[in-house]
Structure 1
Amino acid sequence: MKKTHILCAAATLLALASTAHAQSAGTFMARIGATSIHPDVNSGDLSAPSLTGTKVDINSASQVSAGITWMWTDNIAIDLPLSIPFKHEVTGAGAIAGTGKLAEVQALPATLTAQYRFGVPTSTLRPYVGAGLTYAMFMKPKSTAALSGLTGGSPSNPTIMTMENRFGPTVQMGFTAKFTDRLSLDATLTKVFVKTKGHLSTGQSIDVELNPLAYTVGLVYTF
Protein backbone atom coordinates (compact mmCIF):
# COMPACT_ATOMS: atom_id res chain seq x y z
CA MET A 1 0.00 0.00 0.00
CA LYS A 2 2.82 2.37 0.91
CA LYS A 3 4.53 1.55 -2.38
CA THR A 4 1.36 2.49 -4.24
CA HIS A 5 1.19 5.86 -2.44
CA ILE A 6 4.84 6.51 -3.18
CA LEU A 7 4.39 5.68 -6.87
CA CYS A 8 1.32 7.94 -7.10
CA ALA A 9 3.18 10.80 -5.40
CA ALA A 10 6.16 10.37 -7.71
CA ALA A 11 3.90 10.36 -10.78
CA THR A 12 2.18 13.54 -9.57
CA LEU A 13 5.50 15.31 -9.00
CA LEU A 14 6.71 14.32 -12.46
CA ALA A 15 3.51 15.62 -14.02
CA LEU A 16 3.81 18.93 -12.16
CA ALA A 17 7.46 19.31 -13.18
CA SER A 18 6.58 18.60 -16.79
CA THR A 19 3.83 21.24 -16.71
CA ALA A 20 6.07 23.83 -15.10
CA HIS A 21 8.59 23.57 -17.91
CA ALA A 22 6.01 23.64 -20.70
CA GLN A 23 4.85 26.87 -22.36
CA SER A 24 1.98 27.25 -19.92
CA ALA A 25 0.53 30.30 -18.16
CA GLY A 26 3.00 31.92 -15.78
CA THR A 27 6.18 30.44 -17.22
CA PHE A 28 9.16 32.46 -18.44
CA MET A 29 11.40 31.71 -21.42
CA ALA A 30 14.86 33.19 -21.94
CA ARG A 31 16.65 32.94 -25.28
CA ILE A 32 20.04 33.67 -26.79
CA GLY A 33 20.83 33.71 -30.50
CA ALA A 34 21.39 36.05 -33.42
CA THR A 35 19.37 38.62 -35.36
CA SER A 36 19.89 39.97 -38.88
CA ILE A 37 18.14 43.23 -39.82
CA HIS A 38 17.50 44.04 -43.50
CA PRO A 39 16.12 47.55 -44.16
CA ASP A 40 13.73 47.93 -47.10
CA VAL A 41 14.73 51.53 -47.82
CA ASN A 42 12.62 54.09 -49.65
CA SER A 43 14.58 57.34 -49.58
CA GLY A 44 13.39 60.84 -50.24
CA ASP A 45 15.65 63.49 -51.77
CA LEU A 46 18.18 65.45 -49.76
CA SER A 47 16.92 68.99 -49.29
CA ALA A 48 18.55 71.94 -51.07
CA PRO A 49 21.22 72.78 -51.79
CA SER A 50 21.86 69.37 -53.36
CA LEU A 51 21.88 67.56 -56.69
CA THR A 52 18.35 66.53 -57.74
CA GLY A 53 17.71 62.90 -56.86
CA THR A 54 20.29 62.72 -54.05
CA LYS A 55 19.15 59.72 -52.00
CA VAL A 56 20.58 57.24 -49.49
CA ASP A 57 20.51 53.52 -48.84
CA ILE A 58 21.11 51.68 -45.56
CA ASN A 59 22.87 48.33 -45.43
CA SER A 60 21.88 45.23 -43.47
CA ALA A 61 23.44 44.40 -40.10
CA SER A 62 23.62 41.35 -37.82
CA GLN A 63 24.17 41.07 -34.10
CA VAL A 64 24.03 38.70 -31.13
CA SER A 65 20.57 38.95 -29.57
CA ALA A 66 18.53 37.66 -26.66
CA GLY A 67 15.02 37.95 -25.30
CA ILE A 68 12.51 37.19 -22.56
CA THR A 69 9.02 35.77 -23.08
CA TRP A 70 6.32 35.54 -20.42
CA MET A 71 3.31 33.27 -20.95
CA TRP A 72 0.33 35.34 -19.79
CA THR A 73 -2.05 32.47 -20.61
CA ASP A 74 -1.47 29.08 -22.20
CA ASN A 75 -1.71 30.74 -25.63
CA ILE A 76 -0.93 34.45 -25.17
CA ALA A 77 2.66 35.57 -24.55
CA ILE A 78 4.41 38.91 -24.01
CA ASP A 79 7.81 39.07 -25.70
CA LEU A 80 10.71 41.48 -25.14
CA PRO A 81 13.71 41.11 -27.50
CA LEU A 82 17.11 42.28 -26.23
CA SER A 83 20.30 43.13 -28.10
CA ILE A 84 23.26 45.44 -28.36
CA PRO A 85 23.12 48.12 -31.09
CA PHE A 86 23.30 47.14 -34.76
CA LYS A 87 25.87 48.99 -36.90
CA HIS A 88 24.42 50.10 -40.26
CA GLU A 89 26.27 51.77 -43.11
CA VAL A 90 24.59 54.67 -44.92
CA THR A 91 25.55 54.76 -48.61
CA GLY A 92 24.78 57.00 -51.56
CA ALA A 93 21.84 56.17 -53.86
CA GLY A 94 19.93 57.78 -56.71
CA ALA A 95 21.96 60.57 -58.28
CA ILE A 96 24.93 59.81 -56.00
CA ALA A 97 24.90 56.02 -56.34
CA GLY A 98 28.44 54.71 -56.34
CA THR A 99 29.82 57.27 -53.91
CA GLY A 100 30.11 54.52 -51.31
CA LYS A 101 29.86 54.87 -47.54
CA LEU A 102 28.63 58.27 -46.37
CA ALA A 103 28.12 57.50 -42.70
CA GLU A 104 27.67 54.82 -40.08
CA VAL A 105 24.96 54.75 -37.43
CA GLN A 106 24.13 52.41 -34.57
CA ALA A 107 20.47 51.38 -34.32
CA LEU A 108 18.78 49.85 -31.29
CA PRO A 109 15.18 48.68 -31.86
CA ALA A 110 13.30 48.49 -28.56
CA THR A 111 10.36 46.18 -29.29
CA LEU A 112 7.48 44.76 -27.25
CA THR A 113 4.98 42.35 -28.81
CA ALA A 114 1.98 40.29 -27.79
CA GLN A 115 1.99 36.82 -29.35
CA TYR A 116 -0.66 34.18 -29.91
CA ARG A 117 0.88 30.71 -29.72
CA PHE A 118 -1.03 27.91 -31.40
CA GLY A 119 -1.35 24.42 -29.92
CA VAL A 120 -1.20 23.44 -26.25
CA PRO A 121 1.60 24.07 -23.71
CA THR A 122 3.07 20.59 -24.20
CA SER A 123 3.11 20.73 -28.03
CA THR A 124 6.47 19.93 -29.60
CA LEU A 125 5.96 22.59 -32.28
CA ARG A 126 4.18 25.86 -31.50
CA PRO A 127 3.78 28.36 -34.36
CA TYR A 128 2.86 31.90 -33.34
CA VAL A 129 1.93 35.31 -34.68
CA GLY A 130 2.51 38.61 -32.92
CA ALA A 131 1.94 42.35 -33.06
CA GLY A 132 3.34 45.25 -31.10
CA LEU A 133 5.39 48.43 -31.21
CA THR A 134 9.04 49.28 -31.85
CA TYR A 135 10.93 52.38 -30.79
CA ALA A 136 13.88 52.72 -33.17
CA MET A 137 16.78 54.57 -31.56
CA PHE A 138 19.75 55.84 -33.56
CA MET A 139 23.02 56.72 -31.88
CA LYS A 140 26.76 57.32 -32.33
CA PRO A 141 26.65 58.49 -35.97
CA LYS A 142 29.98 58.68 -37.78
CA SER A 143 30.27 60.58 -41.05
CA THR A 144 32.89 60.07 -43.76
CA ALA A 145 34.94 62.38 -45.95
CA ALA A 146 32.66 61.40 -48.85
CA LEU A 147 29.68 63.03 -47.11
CA SER A 148 31.66 66.20 -46.44
CA GLY A 149 32.77 66.27 -50.06
CA LEU A 150 29.17 66.12 -51.27
CA THR A 151 27.88 68.76 -48.88
CA GLY A 152 30.71 71.28 -48.74
CA GLY A 153 32.30 70.16 -45.49
CA SER A 154 36.03 70.20 -44.81
CA PRO A 155 38.54 68.32 -42.63
CA SER A 156 38.39 71.16 -40.10
CA ASN A 157 34.58 71.44 -40.29
CA PRO A 158 33.21 68.04 -41.40
CA THR A 159 29.52 67.45 -42.12
CA ILE A 160 27.84 65.60 -39.24
CA MET A 161 24.75 63.42 -39.68
CA THR A 162 22.09 62.53 -37.10
CA MET A 163 18.85 60.52 -37.35
CA GLU A 164 15.59 60.98 -35.45
CA ASN A 165 14.30 58.26 -33.10
CA ARG A 166 10.86 57.04 -34.17
CA PHE A 167 8.04 54.62 -33.22
CA GLY A 168 6.74 52.03 -35.68
CA PRO A 169 4.08 49.28 -35.64
CA THR A 170 5.48 45.76 -35.64
CA VAL A 171 4.18 42.37 -36.80
CA GLN A 172 5.84 38.97 -36.58
CA MET A 173 5.48 35.27 -37.15
CA GLY A 174 7.57 32.37 -35.94
CA PHE A 175 7.69 29.03 -34.18
CA THR A 176 9.18 27.29 -31.18
CA ALA A 177 10.36 23.67 -31.61
CA LYS A 178 10.83 21.82 -28.33
CA PHE A 179 13.87 19.56 -27.78
CA THR A 180 13.15 18.82 -24.12
CA ASP A 181 10.80 20.28 -21.49
CA ARG A 182 13.37 23.03 -20.89
CA LEU A 183 15.19 23.53 -24.20
CA SER A 184 13.67 24.75 -27.48
CA LEU A 185 14.65 26.34 -30.79
CA ASP A 186 12.94 29.60 -31.65
CA ALA A 187 12.82 31.24 -35.10
CA THR A 188 11.08 34.56 -35.78
CA LEU A 189 10.45 36.81 -38.78
CA THR A 190 9.66 40.41 -37.73
CA LYS A 191 8.55 43.37 -39.87
CA VAL A 192 8.73 46.94 -38.56
CA PHE A 193 7.07 49.84 -40.37
CA VAL A 194 9.11 52.88 -39.44
CA LYS A 195 10.23 56.16 -40.99
CA THR A 196 12.98 58.51 -39.85
CA LYS A 197 14.51 61.83 -40.84
CA GLY A 198 18.22 62.39 -41.24
CA HIS A 199 19.72 65.78 -40.42
CA LEU A 200 23.04 67.20 -41.58
CA SER A 201 25.01 69.88 -39.77
CA THR A 202 24.74 71.90 -43.01
CA GLY A 203 21.01 72.36 -42.33
CA GLN A 204 19.92 69.83 -44.97
CA SER A 205 17.60 66.93 -44.19
CA ILE A 206 16.28 63.75 -45.80
CA ASP A 207 13.22 61.57 -45.12
CA VAL A 208 13.81 57.82 -45.17
CA GLU A 209 11.41 54.88 -44.90
CA LEU A 210 13.33 52.00 -43.31
CA ASN A 211 10.66 49.27 -42.92
CA PRO A 212 13.21 46.58 -41.94
CA LEU A 213 12.68 42.82 -41.97
CA ALA A 214 14.47 41.01 -39.13
CA TYR A 215 15.36 37.32 -38.95
CA THR A 216 16.04 35.87 -35.50
CA VAL A 217 17.10 32.38 -34.42
CA GLY A 218 17.75 31.46 -30.81
CA LEU A 219 18.05 28.72 -28.21
CA VAL A 220 15.32 28.96 -25.56
CA TYR A 221 15.42 27.88 -21.91
CA THR A 222 12.05 27.57 -20.14
CA PHE A 223 11.81 28.21 -16.39
Structure 2
Amino acid sequence: MTLRHPLGAVAALTLALTGLSTTAQAQTQDYTVRVGYTHIAPHSSATDATGPFLFKPNSGISLEVQKESTLFFSVARRLDDRFEVELALGLPPTHDVTAKLNPSIVPGYVVSAYQGQTIARIRQMAPTVFLNYSFGESSSALRPFVGVGLNYTRFDDRRSTPTGNSLNGGPTDIRLTDSWGLAAQVGLDYRINDQWSIHGSVATARVKTTLTATTAGAARTMDIHFRPVVLTIAAGYRF
Protein backbone atom coordinates (compact mmCIF):
# COMPACT_ATOMS: atom_id res chain seq x y z
CA MET A 1 0.00 0.00 0.00
CA THR A 2 1.41 3.39 -0.94
CA LEU A 3 1.04 6.23 1.56
CA ARG A 4 0.61 9.47 -0.34
CA HIS A 5 0.98 11.71 2.71
CA PRO A 6 3.48 10.15 5.18
CA LEU A 7 3.29 12.92 7.74
CA GLY A 8 -0.49 12.66 7.60
CA ALA A 9 -0.16 8.97 8.38
CA VAL A 10 1.96 9.76 11.44
CA ALA A 11 -0.64 12.26 12.58
CA ALA A 12 -3.41 9.72 11.98
CA LEU A 13 -1.56 7.15 14.10
CA THR A 14 -1.18 9.73 16.87
CA LEU A 15 -4.93 10.41 16.82
CA ALA A 16 -5.70 6.70 16.79
CA LEU A 17 -3.54 6.03 19.84
CA THR A 18 -4.95 9.07 21.59
CA GLY A 19 -8.41 7.66 20.98
CA LEU A 20 -7.54 4.74 23.28
CA SER A 21 -8.07 6.98 26.28
CA THR A 22 -11.26 6.28 28.27
CA THR A 23 -10.49 8.63 31.13
CA ALA A 24 -12.76 11.35 32.42
CA GLN A 25 -13.26 14.66 30.65
CA ALA A 26 -10.84 16.35 33.07
CA GLN A 27 -8.04 14.26 31.55
CA THR A 28 -8.61 15.54 27.99
CA GLN A 29 -6.46 18.62 28.56
CA ASP A 30 -3.56 16.72 30.13
CA TYR A 31 -0.77 17.61 27.69
CA THR A 32 2.99 18.06 28.06
CA VAL A 33 5.20 20.09 25.73
CA ARG A 34 8.94 19.31 25.83
CA VAL A 35 11.74 21.43 24.37
CA GLY A 36 15.44 20.70 24.62
CA TYR A 37 18.59 19.30 23.02
CA THR A 38 19.11 16.05 21.15
CA HIS A 39 22.28 14.36 19.89
CA ILE A 40 22.02 11.89 17.01
CA ALA A 41 24.66 9.22 16.39
CA PRO A 42 23.50 7.53 13.14
CA HIS A 43 25.77 4.44 13.34
CA SER A 44 25.34 3.98 9.60
CA SER A 45 26.54 1.07 7.50
CA ALA A 46 26.41 1.14 3.72
CA THR A 47 26.96 -1.39 0.98
CA ASP A 48 29.54 -0.71 -1.71
CA ALA A 49 28.29 1.50 -4.53
CA THR A 50 27.20 -0.34 -7.66
CA GLY A 51 26.74 1.05 -11.15
CA PRO A 52 28.61 2.15 -14.27
CA PHE A 53 32.42 2.58 -14.26
CA LEU A 54 32.88 0.89 -10.86
CA PHE A 55 34.77 -2.22 -9.88
CA LYS A 56 32.58 -5.34 -9.82
CA PRO A 57 31.28 -7.11 -7.78
CA ASN A 58 32.73 -4.89 -5.03
CA SER A 59 33.61 -1.30 -5.86
CA GLY A 60 35.28 -0.55 -2.52
CA ILE A 61 33.45 2.80 -2.45
CA SER A 62 31.06 3.43 0.43
CA LEU A 63 30.17 6.18 2.89
CA GLU A 64 29.51 7.00 6.53
CA VAL A 65 26.95 9.44 7.97
CA GLN A 66 28.32 11.60 10.78
CA LYS A 67 26.87 12.65 14.14
CA GLU A 68 24.84 15.82 14.62
CA SER A 69 22.92 17.71 17.32
CA THR A 70 19.75 19.75 17.04
CA LEU A 71 16.77 21.30 18.84
CA PHE A 72 14.25 18.77 20.17
CA PHE A 73 10.56 19.29 20.81
CA SER A 74 7.61 16.99 21.40
CA VAL A 75 3.95 17.04 22.38
CA ALA A 76 2.55 14.31 24.63
CA ARG A 77 -0.95 13.51 25.79
CA ARG A 78 -1.42 11.48 28.95
CA LEU A 79 -4.00 8.73 28.63
CA ASP A 80 -3.97 7.73 32.31
CA ASP A 81 -1.49 7.61 35.22
CA ARG A 82 0.90 5.32 33.32
CA PHE A 83 0.37 5.72 29.56
CA GLU A 84 0.97 8.66 27.26
CA VAL A 85 1.18 9.19 23.51
CA GLU A 86 4.13 11.35 22.40
CA LEU A 87 4.86 12.87 19.00
CA ALA A 88 8.61 13.55 18.99
CA LEU A 89 9.96 16.03 16.47
CA GLY A 90 12.93 18.35 16.17
CA LEU A 91 14.63 20.92 13.99
CA PRO A 92 15.77 18.79 11.01
CA PRO A 93 19.55 18.30 11.31
CA THR A 94 21.98 18.25 8.38
CA HIS A 95 24.56 15.46 8.54
CA ASP A 96 27.97 15.40 6.86
CA VAL A 97 28.51 12.29 4.73
CA THR A 98 32.13 11.15 4.42
CA ALA A 99 33.82 8.83 1.94
CA LYS A 100 34.71 5.32 3.14
CA LEU A 101 37.10 3.70 0.66
CA ASN A 102 38.60 0.21 0.73
CA PRO A 103 42.36 0.59 0.05
CA SER A 104 42.63 -3.02 -1.09
CA ILE A 105 40.30 -2.24 -4.01
CA VAL A 106 40.45 1.51 -4.65
CA PRO A 107 43.70 2.93 -6.09
CA GLY A 108 45.97 4.48 -3.47
CA TYR A 109 45.92 7.99 -4.96
CA VAL A 110 42.11 8.00 -4.78
CA VAL A 111 42.15 6.82 -1.16
CA SER A 112 44.71 9.52 -0.25
CA ALA A 113 42.62 12.26 -1.87
CA TYR A 114 39.13 11.31 -0.65
CA GLN A 115 39.22 9.00 2.38
CA GLY A 116 37.21 10.59 5.22
CA GLN A 117 36.41 13.71 3.20
CA THR A 118 32.89 15.19 3.20
CA ILE A 119 31.33 14.17 -0.11
CA ALA A 120 27.71 15.13 0.63
CA ARG A 121 25.39 16.74 3.15
CA ILE A 122 21.93 15.38 3.85
CA ARG A 123 19.12 16.78 5.97
CA GLN A 124 16.72 14.37 7.63
CA MET A 125 13.29 14.87 9.13
CA ALA A 126 12.22 12.04 11.45
CA PRO A 127 8.89 12.45 13.30
CA THR A 128 8.28 9.54 15.66
CA VAL A 129 5.15 8.51 17.55
CA PHE A 130 5.70 6.74 20.89
CA LEU A 131 3.36 5.02 23.29
CA ASN A 132 5.13 5.53 26.64
CA TYR A 133 4.62 3.60 29.87
CA SER A 134 5.75 5.21 33.15
CA PHE A 135 6.70 3.24 36.25
CA GLY A 136 5.99 4.27 39.84
CA GLU A 137 3.24 6.44 41.25
CA SER A 138 1.95 9.58 39.56
CA SER A 139 2.94 11.57 42.67
CA SER A 140 6.59 10.41 42.50
CA ALA A 141 9.24 12.98 41.63
CA LEU A 142 11.25 10.46 39.58
CA ARG A 143 9.49 8.20 37.07
CA PRO A 144 11.37 5.96 34.63
CA PHE A 145 9.56 5.11 31.41
CA VAL A 146 9.78 2.95 28.31
CA GLY A 147 8.21 3.59 24.94
CA VAL A 148 7.57 1.84 21.63
CA GLY A 149 6.42 3.43 18.44
CA LEU A 150 6.77 4.16 14.74
CA ASN A 151 9.41 6.29 13.00
CA TYR A 152 9.20 7.97 9.61
CA THR A 153 12.43 9.36 8.14
CA ARG A 154 12.55 11.59 5.08
CA PHE A 155 15.76 12.97 3.56
CA ASP A 156 14.45 16.25 2.20
CA ASP A 157 17.69 18.08 1.30
CA ARG A 158 20.59 16.27 -0.36
CA ARG A 159 23.66 18.04 -1.70
CA SER A 160 26.86 16.69 -3.19
CA THR A 161 29.89 18.75 -2.18
CA PRO A 162 32.61 19.83 -4.65
CA THR A 163 34.70 16.96 -3.25
CA GLY A 164 31.83 14.55 -3.90
CA ASN A 165 31.45 15.86 -7.43
CA SER A 166 35.16 15.32 -8.00
CA LEU A 167 35.02 11.74 -6.69
CA ASN A 168 31.97 10.96 -8.85
CA GLY A 169 33.35 12.61 -11.98
CA GLY A 170 31.10 15.65 -12.21
CA PRO A 171 28.04 17.41 -10.72
CA THR A 172 26.02 14.77 -8.91
CA ASP A 173 22.34 14.54 -8.01
CA ILE A 174 21.61 12.59 -4.81
CA ARG A 175 18.31 10.88 -3.95
CA LEU A 176 17.41 8.80 -0.89
CA THR A 177 14.24 6.80 -0.35
CA ASP A 178 12.00 7.40 2.67
CA SER A 179 11.99 4.97 5.59
CA TRP A 180 9.35 3.58 7.95
CA GLY A 181 10.40 1.51 10.95
CA LEU A 182 9.78 0.55 14.55
CA ALA A 183 11.19 2.77 17.30
CA ALA A 184 11.85 2.40 21.02
CA GLN A 185 13.03 4.57 23.89
CA VAL A 186 13.82 4.47 27.61
CA GLY A 187 14.13 7.46 29.88
CA LEU A 188 13.47 9.28 33.11
CA ASP A 189 11.19 12.16 34.04
CA TYR A 190 11.94 14.35 37.07
CA ARG A 191 8.93 16.34 38.25
CA ILE A 192 9.86 19.76 39.64
CA ASN A 193 6.24 20.75 40.36
CA ASP A 194 2.79 20.15 38.87
CA GLN A 195 3.70 22.01 35.68
CA TRP A 196 7.47 21.71 35.13
CA SER A 197 9.68 18.65 34.68
CA ILE A 198 13.04 17.55 33.30
CA HIS A 199 12.97 14.80 30.68
CA GLY A 200 15.86 12.58 29.57
CA SER A 201 15.75 9.70 27.10
CA VAL A 202 17.72 7.36 24.86
CA ALA A 203 15.94 6.32 21.68
CA THR A 204 16.58 4.24 18.59
CA ALA A 205 14.72 3.25 15.44
CA ARG A 206 14.94 0.96 12.44
CA VAL A 207 15.96 3.18 9.51
CA LYS A 208 17.06 2.08 6.04
CA THR A 209 17.29 3.85 2.70
CA THR A 210 18.60 3.41 -0.82
CA LEU A 211 20.86 6.17 -2.11
CA THR A 212 21.08 6.91 -5.82
CA ALA A 213 23.84 9.24 -7.05
CA THR A 214 23.50 10.27 -10.69
CA THR A 215 26.40 11.86 -12.57
CA ALA A 216 26.07 12.68 -16.30
CA GLY A 217 23.25 10.14 -16.59
CA ALA A 218 25.18 7.36 -14.84
CA ALA A 219 23.32 6.18 -11.72
CA ARG A 220 25.12 4.44 -8.86
CA THR A 221 23.27 3.01 -5.89
CA MET A 222 23.93 1.72 -2.39
CA ASP A 223 21.80 0.59 0.55
CA ILE A 224 22.29 2.34 3.89
CA HIS A 225 21.16 0.98 7.25
CA PHE A 226 21.09 3.09 10.40
CA ARG A 227 21.22 1.97 14.04
CA PRO A 228 20.78 5.44 15.54
CA VAL A 229 21.32 6.28 19.18
CA VAL A 230 19.45 9.49 20.02
CA LEU A 231 20.20 11.15 23.37
CA THR A 232 17.73 13.82 24.50
CA ILE A 233 17.40 16.14 27.48
CA ALA A 234 14.49 18.54 27.62
CA ALA A 235 12.34 20.71 29.84
CA GLY A 236 8.67 19.76 30.01
CA TYR A 237 5.63 21.94 30.69
CA ARG A 238 2.33 20.23 31.55
CA PHE A 239 -1.06 21.86 31.05
1:142-190 C-alpha deviation (Å, 9 max, x unpaired) = 111222222221xxxx111121111111010001001111111000100
5 Å-filtered alignment, 1:77-92, equals 77-92=84-99
Task: Find the aligned partners of 1:122 and 1:33 in 2 and give their Cα distance.
Answer: 24
Spell out the pairing of 1:1-223 with structure 2 (5 A cutoff): 26=28, 27-48=30-51, 49-51=53-55, 52-95=59-102, 96=111, 98-153=115-170, 158-201=171-214, 202-223=218-239
Distance 2:157 2:34 in 1: 27
TM superposition shift of 1:215: 0.6
The 2-side partners of 1:164 and 1:119 are apart by 41
Deviations 1:51-101 (A, max 9, x none): 522110000111111111111111011011121211101110132562500
Distance (whole Å) between structure 2 residues aligned to residue 193 and residue 82 of structure 1: 16
What is the number of equivalent residue pairs in this alignment? 196
Q: Distance in 1 between matches of 2:183 and 2:27?
A: 24
Contact 1:50 1:151 in 2 (8 A): no
**Identity over the aligned pairs, expressed in percent?**
26
The Cα shift of 1:25 comes to 5.0
> Given that residues 25 and 74 in structure 1 are in contact (C-alpha distance below 8 angstroms), is that contact kept between their aligned partners in structure 2?
no
3-state DSSP of counterpart to 2:163: helix
Greater radius of gyration (CA) = 1
Unaligned stretches of 5+ in structure 1?
1-23
Unpaired segments ≥5 residues, structure 2: 1-25, 103-110
Alpha-carbon distance in structure 2 between the residues aligned to 1:208 and 1:82: 22
